[in-house]
Structure 1
Amino acid sequence: MASIVTLPLTLSAAPAGYSKPAATGKPSAPVARQVYPAGPSYISYARRELLQISFAEDDEATSSARAAEAAAAAAANTGDTYPGLGEEDEAKDLLASDPKDWKKQDHYGILGLGHLRYKATDDHIRVAHRRKVLRHHPDKKADHDDGFFKCIQKAHETLTDKDRRRQFDSVDWNIEDEVPNPAKVPADQYTEVWGPIFAREGRFSNIQPVAEFGGPDAPKKEVEGFYDFWYNFDSWRSFEWHDKEANEGADSRDEKRHTEKKNKSERARLKKDDNTRLRTLVDNVLANDPRIKRIKDEEKAARLAKKKGGATPAPKKLTPAEIKKQAEQKRKEEEEAKKAEAAANQASKADREAAKKAKEAARKNLKKWKKSIATVISGSNYFQAAGTAPSAAVIEKQLAELDAIVELAEPEDIKTLKEKIEAAGNGEPAKKVLQDQVAALGDKGAGKFTEFA
């Protein structure tokens, strides 16, 4: 039997003027609505009913599907985005790179990005650096040699710094930058030859995308737009990479300012020369562009047709036999041109390789040759009178002019200069050899020499 519990609570009296609220209306009439089942439980039920399978069979199929999805996700996460990148075998001369001479090392080649160079993305650099570090860490070598490892770190430091990478890309000597004579490029190959060249030059443009060269049938507006873009080319290319550092231990503020002034002047000169080079290239390509002649001929024909008051006469309709004959003739000409080009390339490939190796060897020995010449200058008392101590200004001036000779002359010429000056001996004969070298520079050395002029 239920018991009654009485609580010791006393309700207060209703406030004065309170009245019970009256009913305001009636409940709304019921409405019939469609109800749809939802949720994983109903989906499982429907699947079992449609496929006529048991609970155990459905559970097994669901588990297998989930396992397959997990395996696919794991494979996607562990996939090699850049297979082989940074894992290739390095050449002996690359492994022998001197980390102290980092301004002359190929930073892209060090990281295995030589095939990409300026096209390498931040992800390429990151992945290649990680793999190179894992392969060449000093702890993994028996002799603990860390020379190449330091080169790897310097390459990563340079290529991950936007400004430093631009400085290196501006002077990247590993990119082929030679161009053919526009007057000797066949008309039917003109766009094929110059399109890639201007795309390569476009890497220095502040404005992207760069105007493309276009095809042989490009309309007048497209051709004019291309040349207008390149005649107003806005280049970010700079030459800070060639800047010379102040002498080690130099605390003189004036000396540092002098070095910076010379660097700034040299950068401006190189920038001016590069702008002149590009402008000359565009001038020569425009002067020999067969599309310009085609456009002029079309405009002339249109003017004549308009003057005569009639439409441009339609070209003569060729018979199928004539069309086939022209196609066959064109095919033969193309095959002969390809064979001639292949033969020329094969003949000159060995010469180019030999010239390239000789140039690289000369560049590596340049510092040694310059040091030998400087030794002769020093042994000649900087060409001052016997018993007279040369002033610091004279020493600095002569060494600076020696640097200028090395910069302006070809590496092979510096080798010859070193041999001549050693054969001449100290004193005035050596100075005469230097003066002859300055005279041989011609306009390139105008106004830059006083000690050896």
Structure 2
Amino acid sequence: MSSENPTYTVAICRPLNQQRIQCAGPHFMKYIHKIRHGVDGILSSASSTDEISANETEFEIDVDYLKSLDPKEWKDQDHYHVLGLKNLRYNASDDDIKRAYRKIVLKHHPDKRKAQGENVNSDSDYFTCITKAYETLGNPTKRRSYDSVDPLFDDSLPTQSEINKNFFETFSKYFGLNARWSEKKKVPEIGDENANRQHVDNFYNFWYSFESWREYSYLDEEDKDKGQDREERRWIDKQNKAVRIKRKKEEMSRIRALVDLAYNNDPRIVRIKNEEKEKKQAAKRARMSAVQAQKAEEERILKEAQLAKEKAEQVEQKRIEQIRLEKEQQKRALKKERKSLRDMAKENNYYSTSDKERIKNMEGVEKICEMLKHLELQSFNKELTSGGRNCFIKMLKQTEEKLEEERLAVFGASKTVAAAQQAQQAKQNTAVKAVDKSAMWSPENMQVLIKAVNLFPAGTVQRWEVIANYLNQHCTNLSNRKFAARDVLNKAKDLQSSDFAHNSLKTQANNNAFESFEKTKKELKIVDNAEISVNNENDAGVTKKGKKPETNGTTSKKPADTTKLNGHAEKSEKNEKSEKPATSNGTPAPAPTSAPAPTAANTTAWGKDEQALLEQAMKTYPVSTPDRWDRIAECIPNRSKKDCLRRVKELVDLVNAKREAQQAAK
């Protein structure tokens, strides 16, 4: 190592990592500004007019145009033209606007012009237009609003002659002008005639879903800030927004018309449609060819199958004809052998020794002819020629034994079939048992039926199915049998049409009512002159002087000779004529059959379950129901009609009291 050129060694503990650093800060921004505009620093750092006048060629101030402006009509002026940015317009940067304003102020300020001896009128001086132009373009929001209605922007659509002359150059120009309004920065170009389909689809998809930032607040007829109060400002703002929305719709319609015009005249779209049409036609032709080929193949297969079928039929016909001929030959041979047997037997007097045996052997010959086949019969004829009578008797005996065996076999089979049929019939008769339905209608079940009919009145959905289910749940001694809806309906009709006065159920009901009266008569409390009315019902349960109180809607004046069925009371003719009940033979009943005695009013507090039952019953039986409160009382155990009425009246009084208290508090 020499002393003149020392060498240093650096040890790196970790591997090198590449990192991306983004430049930022005031010094970097100053450097970028200097590269873009050729000025060191920002405009505010300029200290003399020499630095500003160095770029004097960028701005063209039209003094004649400035002098022609009217400060009162500043909104109709071209702000870019006023500041000398006529050529740059919307491409001018914020720094360009500031420098242009600075330059024009240094030259056209009223004080400067007065110092030069120019006569300046402060009311109509054009410097006000310069100030308004800078206020509009110096504010990003106001500048965007003004750029949206740039007076030099061309909103027209290309003519058909321009399109026919050069489609791509014409629409490239118009789409390029309208691309400035896009919210998205990357706007696809129209391309040329060699562009692929994906590029064309992307281009038209973008423009058909074009999002424009263009807005028309600059054209508002009235300024909402000039409103005298809040309501007026709101009204002005509402009117301005309505006009803006209308103009925005017109602008989007213009863009859509431009895109439709380009799409309908685009030669690439025509080419793509023709290609698609050709593809569809080619696919259609391919399908038609495939269908025709398949049809031809099916016809060929069908023809081959038909030929094969005809050939098979011919072969089968020949076979059948051959079999028929063979059968005929066998039949003729068999007939010949039988004739030989009959002739041989006739020549030998049927191998008999007496007339009786002769007749028997004649029958035997026929049996042998029927039993033996051709070969057997041929062999027997040969044996019979040499054997004579003994051979014939032996064969006759064998034939009779065979016939007997066949007869026994047929008889045994028929007997077995008959026995099996009898056994099956007996089994079916054993399986089918008659149900004694009358045994199911015991007195207790009859009472449950009457209660169910009253509990579920006419109008109930599927009434008789509901009553049948109720009976199956509450009746006893059914022995795994169930009531059907039809059986319940027939029994109810029988009870309704029969004379219930002659029925033993009445006597039993009267006896039960009398026993109940004997048990509760000591606890009976009579309430005189008590009137309860709910919902203006006159028959809700009125207790008058001279009459006994009623329980569950039955009075003690007449015997309980009525049965409620289908919601109506049914009385017999005999009970209408006489108050005394009659037995089945027409004689007066010896036992006392007074009506059920009323029970004392139940003074116990109403429970939650009872209250729920009362509310449900009042919903089930509306005001128009006959004997409404009697039916409601039947639905609530241990509660009479009077208890239900009293409870309802208490609830009504309680509701009225609360209502009066609320009204008094108001």
Sort the TM-score into its range (normalised by shorter chain).
0.3 to 0.5
Query: TM-score, normalization: structure 2?
Result: 0.33
Structure scoring higher RCO (CA < 8 A, sep ≥ 6) equals 1
Q: Which has the larger radius of gyration?
A: 2
